[in-house]
Amino acid sequence: MTPKTINVGGQAVIEGVMMRSPAALAIAVRIPSGEITVKTQKLKDLASRPKILQLPVIRGVVTLFQALTLGIQALNFSANQSLEEEEGELGAGVLTLTIGFAFVLGIALFVYLPLFLTNLLKDVLPLVATSTVLFNLIDGLLRVMIFLAYLIGISQIKDLRRVFEYHGAEHKTIYTYENGEDLTVEQAQRYSTLHPRCGTNFLLIVMLMSILVFSILRSDAPFYIKFASRLVFVPLIAGISYEIIRFAGKHQDKTWVRWLTKPGLSLQKITTKPPSADQLEVAIRALQEVLQMEKDRPDSTRNAMEVVL
């Protein structure tokens, strides 16, 4: 990243890309007519928050909660814009139900299921019942395996593949900007779709960190206690994972850091796909809008790291 660049992140949405900086957000979507529609929004700079919310780990939880909120809003906007006019807009109720279902499914797949399967193993392998370390290690490994199977499964869905292509366009565009190149389709095509600050990296780190954090919980505790504790520890794990990916994004010049981020980069081969020129145009438009909004800010070089999604 060049000294004069600001930290930008983003998220692939339906037929488009959201880009964000410390104080600005833009969503660019390719509508059915072929034109690009854009929505912009000013954001409260992270550095203007109370000091306690800027502390390590805590800042990660706050930033990720904001990213989740803005991401849901961006998905809602893109879904409505990409629909054919005669189909109308998605109502707030439909969106709420969809998000609620996704949330429950996530807990069921990545928290309840691996814990349930590990609990079953206690009857087959007595050592699992007596060893806290082994119990939580198996629980964590099952969680990672389910996560990988889930990613591979959804990557086969045609509509989601287009989202993954826009994900690749987002990364290529950010790389182009971070390397000081002109924001053109030709320049962006030269760069990789794999980025060290990607949300896929973050999720993998969360999976691995959960193994370490949950290892302090006794394996002989009642099932409901173990399940509830995993939910309670989610913010802590997310905050620690945010700090790790933040550090990795700022120290890619170190060989050992690049080696540590390789698994996450490899995983992005599933969640990002090579984009078309049209998709890159959308990502570039979103970033240009964000940079224009940041242009007149005297403190626009402030290091407020955003996770690339």
Q: Cα-atom radius of gyration of the chain, to the nearest Å?
A: 20
Q: Going by C-beta distance under 8 Å and a sequence separation of 6 or more, which residues neighbour residue 303?
A: 7
pLDDT in tens, 10-60: 999 999 999 998 889 999 999 988 999 999 999 876 666 778 877 888 888
Residue 203, in any domain of the structure: yes
CA angle, residues 146, 148, 152, in degrees to nearest 5? 115
Q: Which long-range contacts (CB under 8 A, 24 or more apart) does 253-260 make?
A: none
* pLDDT, position 300: 45
Distance, in Å, from the CA atom of 252 to the CA atom of 231, rounded to the nearest integer, reads 32
pLDDT score for 301: 45
What span, in angstroms and rounded, lies between the C-alpha atoms of 112 and 84?
38
What pTM does this model have? 0.84
Helix (H), strand (E) at residue 230? helix 223-232
Block residue for tokens 């389910």:
146
Among left, alpha and beta (phi > 0; psi -120 to 50; other), residue 6 is beta
Tell me, yes or no, whether 63 lies in a domain: yes
Contacts of 237 (CB under 8 A, 6+ apart): 206, 209, 210, 213
Number of domains in the chain: 1
| Cβ-contact 132, 217 below 8 angstroms | yes
Residue 154: inside a domain:
yes
Domain that holds residue 273: 9-294
Q: At what angle do helices 234-250 and 223-232 cross, to 10 degrees?
A: 40
Residue 205's nearest CA partner among 64, 68, 302, 101 is 64
Per-10-residue mean pLDDT, the chain, length 309: 71 94 92 92 76 83 84 87 61 68 88 92 84 89 92 88 94 94 95 88 87 81 87 89 84 82 88 95 96 74 49
* Per-residue model confidence (pLDDT) at position 250: 79
Give the distance from CA 110 to its chain's centroid: 16
Q: What kind and span of H or E run contains 37?
A: strand 36-42
* Rounded CA separation 9/24 (Å): 11
pLDDT at 71: 86
Residue 170, token pair as written in the block: 């987002």
SS3 (DSSP) at 90:
coil
Judge whether 301 lies within some domain: no
CB of 217 within 8 A of CB of 137? no
- With H, G, I as helix, E, B as strand and everything else as coil, classify residue 12: strand
Contact between 199 and 307 under an 8 Å Cβ cutoff? The reply is yes
Region of residue 250 (left: phi > 0; alpha: psi -120 to 50; beta: else): alpha
Residue 308: inside a domain, yes or no? Answer: no
User: With left for phi above 0 and alpha for psi between -120 and 50, is residue 218 left, alpha or beta?
Assistant: beta
In a domain, 303, yes or no: no
How large is the angle between the packed helices 234-250 and 58-82, nearest 10 degrees? 90
